Every structure is written in structure tokens, then in C-alpha cells.
Structure 1
Amino acid sequence: MFDYLIVGAGFSGSVLAERLASQKNKKILIVDKRNHIGGNAYDYYNEHGILIHKYGPHWFHTNDRKVFEYLSAFTAWRYHYHRVQSYVDGMLVPFPINRDTLNMLYGLDLSSPAAVQAYYDEVKANINNPADAEEMVISQVGEALYNKFFKGYTLKQWEIHPRDLAASVTARIPVRTNRDDRYFTDTYQGMPKHGYTAMFQRMLSHPNISVMQQTDYRELLQTVPYRKMIYTGPIDSFFDYKFGKLPYRSLRFEHETFDQEFHQPCQQVNYPNEYDFTRIVEWKHATGQKSHLTTITREYALDAGDDLERYYPIPRAINHDLFNKYKAEAAQLDNVLFCGRLADYKYYNMDQVVARALMIAEKELKDQ
């Protein structure tokens, strides 16, 4: 008899398994349909010995000290600031947009945050309450910069015009008046020193945790006894799509290895306009790995079909209305908890996933 059957061995499922096993001596069976643990954060060494992320880049960053200290029990860190450049007008410029971006693009000599803000004030649209992703950007930096950096990238990423997406899509990206070229400004930033997979292996090493891979949890429901389920998969799948399928965007990856130390100047270059792919990632910039070879990954966005992984919930009101129907169904179940990006139909950052899993674990521990 297991105390918990946990569906999904990504961040949500693994954190909950570890907490319930180590803090309350609960017996856990964690099941995943894939042939590995770690969910979308899974990383591995490719045939050239380069550590890469199978499901796209995962750059850890957080201001939540509790989350950082929790994960630090299972990994050392390579502290590293995530830097992004964008290929615009035939040149690589810092992104998010900052003072250097404007000076490089337009041959300006803006020398202070006040001068940069004055430039933004001159070109931005006067929109007090942006209603969509397009209005959010042009209300901050104007239409020209929106067209250069945001419109094409958003169309490729979502295949939906920015004016038909929630303002939150572009509100996530800061606009800077200084020269700070870090993508994130969080207190804690870096990569697990030996990779995410090694961190998950330590997290799930408790003797009370059993792991089954390449297994559909439905195959176990009639044969494996358990007291409570924690479900981290797609909530619409759990209910057999009774209200219809929730739409997601998926990704396709194209890897290439070069016989050189580095291929590009930073770990991520965005391509907002000229190319079919959205970005190129070069892993060694982030991992610090030493090799005379380097691997890059080009990323293409596409709709998630039946045979494709689901990555990004699509932030539109009609989709959230559909999710709320499933959420209401979930609320009627006494012995199933739902947690995670797919179960909550929400685009969480990694630290938000961990924080939510820790919160649910604390509640479970108190209720025992």
C-alpha cells in the first residue's frame, strides 16, 4: 500500500515525493510515461559529450530564498547570469532593450537613464491600461521597437497576433534605462553544477520513494493500492477531454555540433524576424563545460498535436474559461491533488513550480 501515487516525475512531482517521504515517512510511488525523471528539465550528455537540455533551455533564477535553499540540499550551483542578444537589423544587440541597445541600433549617444526614459517617452503610445500583448509593448517603447523585437518573435512563438494575446505575455519582459544586460535580475541565478538530472536523482533517492518510468498511471489504478493521488499531468487528459482539449504550443529542436570552442557570444540569441526558428541556444555558456567542441540548439515553435509535447499554455481568455471547467471538476475530488504547469494550465517559472509544490506539501504534512 502506497500512501501517495504521484503522476509525473518533474519538479512538482519530485518535490512533493521528497517532502512527503522525508518529512512524514510516507511511502511514495512516482510514475512517469517517459524513460527518465526530471520532466522537461531533464538534461543529458549528447554523443559529443556536451551537456544539453532535451526539452529546451531551463535557466534557473529566483528571489525566493526558501526555494533556493531547498534545491541547494540536492545540488551545488554554478552561478551564472543569463544573457540574451537579439539579431536585429543585421547586428546582435542586448535584449531586453537597454541603453546600449538603443545606442547601437540608432547611432545615439544616450548617456543616462534619464535620457533613455526621455527617448521612450517620446516614442511610446499613450495607453494607460494595455489590453493585450501588443499594447503592452508599444505603451512602453513605441511601435518601431515593438516591430523589431516583439511582433515577429511573438507571431512565431504563438502563431497568434500579439493583439490577440494577454498583456501578460509581453509584460514578463522588462524594459531598461540602464546598461544592465542580464535577462533576469533575480538574487539567485545559475545552473545545477552537475545538471538537473543529477539533482532529481538525489531528490528521489529516499528509500520510501519508488520510481516507475515508461508507465501510464492508468495501467496501475486497478492493481496498485494507494491512499491518495497527486496528478501533475494535463488536467484535460485526466478527465478524458470531456469538455474538449486545452490548446498548447510545442517546440521542435535542431541540434548541431561544431569543432570550435564557441559558436556565438552568449548562451541565447533571439531571432525575432528573419528566420523560421525563434532562438539559438549554446549550452556551454551556461554550464561552464570545457570542450573543444560546442553544441547549439535551434528552437522552432509549433502547435502541440497528439504526438507532440505540451510546453506552453496559450494565454487567451477562451482557453482559461475552458480550464475553469476542468478546475471545477477537480475541486470535487477528495483524494486527488492537482499541481504543476500542465495540471494548473499556467506558465510557471521553475521556482514558482517548486514554491507551489512546497506549499502543497506543507499543507499535506499538516493535515496528516
Structure 2
Amino acid sequence: MTKRVLMVGAGLSGAVIGRRLAEAGHALTIIDQRDHIAGNCHTDRDAETGVMVHVYGPHIFHTDDEEVWHYVNSFDRFMPYVNRVKTTSGGHVYLLPINLHTINQFFGKTLRPDEAKAFIQSLADETIGEPKTFEEQALKFVGRDLYEAFLKGYTVKQWGCQPDELPASILRRLPVRFNYDDNYFFHRFQGMPENGYTAMIGKILDHERIEVNLGRRFDRAEAEGFDHVFYSGPIDSYFGYEYGRLGYRTLDFEPFRYDGDYQGCAVMNYGDVDVPYTRITEHKHFSPWEKHEKSICYREYSRACGPDDIPYYPIRLSEEKALIAQYVDRARQEAGVTFVGRLGTYRYLDMDVTIREALDTASTYLASVSEGGKAMPAFCVEP
């Protein structure tokens, strides 16, 4: 039996769920308040330089999920791309993540891996037991010098508060490698879509049973004409901010163009707190298979997200956790709607995880239909 399904949001979650349901014979209406598809993954050619620009900041695809890797490659060819980040700190340029080259350069040494490991251990603050804050986590593992050079200033700018106010969980992994590997990610599969994310998502949405309406805000009254709604917008917005607004950080971008190669790499972080921006991204380096004489760069600034801003990073400190718990309880009282994606579940999600969850959510819905209309949960993944 064909179901009429409404998807709110034409980003990765909406496109992937919509495509799977359409292929299974259901009718999809997808709406998005923006005038383009692909959400924050949106890419577009800069008219002046010809460079493919990541309009809302860089999105680099990396995953260990082979099914997801094959899925995205079925809609566009992913070209080889390895994210090699640099950082400027104290007037010098270093490699990130902190690795053996960074350690030797920073301390003026020529340490081997085992020597470097012992050296960093000697710098670690052994008085800290179980780290409770970001700062304690950093000091326990890399010591004060590396923490202040590479982590403290950037974190203050990114989150708008001191590192001793942030939970240790934000610094999930040991931020140091004892070899010369400067690949920012560990995953087996890494790359960029040859024609950009917007073209890729456009192909995902290109199905006869999918209707896409852009520049259209969602009204909850619309849901009455559909068998089910998948909502990938902000969960607090769905409920009219009934309990208050969830906290996010947003980003401002200051574009500038350059005749030539501005910084020689895609991403240059700025660890010093007196530099107001967190990083500069040079977009032609995200497509190394293309050649461009001119360049377009973004200076990136982080700040608190206002009511009219684009939300990027959920804050999820104690106040926000209490608030999201209220919205989750409220969502579970709703029938006929499932909250998905970064904004719908108030979680920071990499693109591969977003796609994996979307594929699994679509499978859950199709199973519920085949089982005679078994009710879909408000969340297929716990927020």
C-alpha cells in the first residue's frame, strides 16, 4: 500500500530517507525553507574564480562504513582527498593532529616515537585523576605547553567559554600521535564528491515519486494530509520553542579572493586567542583534481547562535541536556512524526553517521508498513 510521506528538510537525512521510501513505492513530498537542497553540505561554483565552494564551511567525507561509502559513490564519484590540517600558533606553522613532527618542531627536538611518548608522559599533569573538564583532559594527556599552544585558544573561540567550563567528553580522543601521520582522520574511506555535495544530493532526490519544494516553511497543520512525517529541522522549533530555545554555536564566514595560492592548504587553524577567527579555509584545495589560478577563502568565526542564525554545533552542557530531555519527552507524546538528523535529535553528526542513521530509519519505517502499520517511534536513535 502506497503511503504519503512528508519529509521536512532536503539535506542528507531527508534525501536518503526519501530515496529509500520512494524506491519502495511510496510518495514523498520534501520541503525545505532554504532556496537550495543539501542543507549545510551545500556546494556551489564561485563565479569569479570557478572554485567549488563549501558554502556553509568545509564538509569532508570520511567513514569506515563500507555500505555508506558504496552508497554515496553510487550517486557521484568520490575523488581521493586526505584532510591535512595546519595550525598557526605563536608565529609558527605546525601540523595537526599533534604528531611526532609537531612535537619535535615545537620543542626543538629529534625524538623517536618511544622517546616522544616518554617525553609527553613526563609533561602530563599526574595530579589529575579522572578528568572532569576539557582542560583537565588536555593537561592529563599532553601537559600545559601543548595544551596552551594548540587547544586552549582555539577552544575558547570555538565554544565561547573557558575550557574548564566544558566537559572532558568534548576532547574525546588522545590528541597526539607518536608518528609522522598527519592524516586528520583515521577512517579507511575518505574523499570528496567530484561534482560537489549539492549535485550528489540532487541525484539522490531525482526520483519520480519525490516532489521537492524549496523556500517553504513547515507548518504542523500540513502533517494532517500525510501518513507519516520525518522531521529534520530543529526539534525545539517543531514545538514552537515551548520550553525555550536549545543552545547552539553558529558560524560567520568572511569570504575573500586571492590571485594565486593564499595559504597552500585547505585548512589553517589559528590557535592564538588574540586572532579573532578560528581558521581560514581555502576552497580550491578541497578539490585537488581541479586547477584554478585564482582562489576563494573563508575566515571562519564562531559565536552564540541567535534566533535568526543557522545552528551548527549543539552545545549540550547541563542546561541544554535538561532542555533536550523535556523536548524528547514531548516528542514521544506525538503520533505520526519521527525526528531525524543533526537538528532533529540535537546531536553533532558526521555525514557518514547521518547517512547510516537515515538508511536504518528508512528500513525501520518500511518494516513498520509491512507489519501492518506498526507505529514508528519518535526517535530511531536516542538523542
Range class of TM-score, shorter chain = over 0.9
CA distance, structure 1, for counterparts of residue 318 and residue 29 of structure 2 = 36
1:189 corresponds in structure 2 to 190
CA distance, structure 1, for counterparts of residue 75 and residue 173 of structure 2 = 29
TM-score, structure 1 as length reference: 0.96
Instruction: Render the CA deviation track for 1:286-310: whole Å, top value 9, x for unaligned.
Output: 2122111111111000111112110
**8 A Cα contact 1:6 1:231, kept in partner:** yes
Summarize the alignment of residues 223-302 of structure 1 with structure 2, pairs less than 5 Å apart.
Answer: 225-260=225-260, 262-273=261-272, 274-288=274-288, 289-302=290-303
Aligned residue type for 1:264: Q
2:121 corresponds in structure 1 to 121
Give the drift of 1:315: 2.9
CA distance, structure 2, for counterparts of residue 219 and residue 367 of structure 1 = 23
Give the drift of 1:172: 4.8
**8 A Cα contact 1:14 1:200, kept in partner:** yes
Instruction: Render the CA deviation track for 1:321-360: whole Å, top value 9, x for unaligned.
Output: 1101101111122200000111111111111111111111
**8 A Cα contact 1:166 1:315, kept in partner:** no
Worse-matched range after superposition: 6-15 or 126-135: 126-135
CA distance, structure 1, for counterparts of residue 291 and residue 15 of structure 2 = 30
CA distance, structure 2, for counterparts of residue 306 and residue 230 of structure 1 = 23
1:37 aligned onto 2:37 = yes
**8 A Cα contact 1:96 1:173, kept in partner:** no
1:330 aligned onto 2:331 = yes
1:172–1:356: structure 2 CA closer, same or farther, 3 Å change rule? farther
TM-score, structure 2 as length reference: 0.92
Give the drift of 1:166: 2.0
CA distance, structure 2, for counterparts of residue 283 and residue 105 of structure 1 = 28
Give the drift of 1:128: 3.9
Instruction: Render the CA deviation track for 1:8-60: whole Å, top value 9, x for unaligned.
Output: 011111110011111x1110000000000000000001122211011111011
1:210 corresponds in structure 2 to 211
1:103–1:249: structure 2 CA closer, same or farther, 3 Å change rule? same
Partner-residue secondary structure (3-state), 2:227: strand
Partner-residue secondary structure (3-state), 1:244: coil
Partner-residue secondary structure (3-state), 1:97: coil
1:114–1:180: structure 2 CA closer, same or farther, 3 Å change rule? same
1:46–1:253: structure 2 CA closer, same or farther, 3 Å change rule? same
Instruction: Render the CA deviation track for 1:180-225: whole Å, top value 9, x for unaligned.
Output: 0111121000100110011011000010000000001218717x82
Aligned residue type for 1:122: S
Unaligned runs of 5+ in 2: 370-383
Summarize the alignment of residues 139-158 of structure 1 with structure 2, pairs less than 5 Å apart.
Answer: 139-158=140-159
**8 A Cα contact 1:133 1:171, kept in partner:** no
TM-align CA RMSD: 1.5
Instruction: Render the CA deviation track for 1:255-290: whole Å, top value 9, x for unaligned.
Output: 111111x21122101001141000011111121221
Worse-matched range after superposition: 145-154 or 27-36: 145-154
Aligned residue type for 2:115: A
Aligned residue type for 1:165: L
**8 A Cα contact 1:165 1:315, kept in partner:** no
1:75 corresponds in structure 2 to 76
Aligned residue type for 1:145: L
Identity of matched residues, %: 38
Runs of 4+ with deviation above 4 angstroms: none
Give the drift of 1:70: 1.3
CA distance, structure 2, for counterparts of residue 47 and residue 235 of structure 1 = 36
**8 A Cα contact 2:268 2:279, kept in partner:** yes
Give the drift of 1:120: 1.2
**8 A Cα contact 1:164 1:316, kept in partner:** no
Aligned residue type for 2:70: E
CA distance, structure 2, for counterparts of residue 45 and residue 190 of structure 1 = 19
CA distance, structure 1, for counterparts of residue 210 and residue 202 of structure 2 = 11
Give the drift of 1:234: 0.4
Unaligned runs of 5+ in 1: none
**8 A Cα contact 1:14 1:204, kept in partner:** yes
CA distance, structure 2, for counterparts of residue 315 and residue 102 of structure 1 = 32
**8 A Cα contact 1:11 1:354, kept in partner:** yes
Aligned residue type for 1:166: P
CA distance, structure 2, for counterparts of residue 80 and residue 339 of structure 1 = 28
CA distance, structure 2, for counterparts of residue 64 and residue 172 of structure 1 = 20
Partner-residue secondary structure (3-state), 2:195: coil
Aligned residue type for 1:131: K
Partner-residue secondary structure (3-state), 1:356: helix
Summarize the alignment of residues 6-155 of structure 1 with structure 2, pairs less than 5 Å apart.
Answer: 6-22=7-23, 24-48=24-48, 49-111=50-112, 113-126=113-126, 127-155=128-156
